Amino acid sequence: MLAKGTKDLSLVYSHWLGKSVVMLVVIRQCYLPMPCHIVAESVGDVRVRIQPGWEIDIRKDLILTVEEVVIAAKDRVN
């Protein structure tokens, strides 16, 4: 159920929910590539899973780019 006013929000990161991505995050003028899975999105934060059992919230204003990780068929493990 959506609360009043939240249905008008533009959820930018919801396209990548559940996919493997690499986010470029800036913290104190350091640019950090962060491989993760996007789990959820709120108005100001994105919840990501770094590894099983470890999720953190990242402020949207710290995220510079997001790229989906695509593994070529020949490199996949059965």
1 in a structural domain: no
* Other beta carbons within 10 Å of 48: 24
* pLDDT score recorded for residue 43: 87
CATH number, domain with residue 51 = 2.30.30.520
* pLDDT score recorded for residue 2: 44
32 in a structural domain: yes
Predicted confidence (pLDDT) at residue 42 exceeds the cutoff of 80: yes
d(CA 4, CA 50): 32
d(CA 15, CA 38): 9
77 in a structural domain: no
The pTM of this model reads: 0.73
Query: For the chain, how many structural domains are there in total?
Result: 1
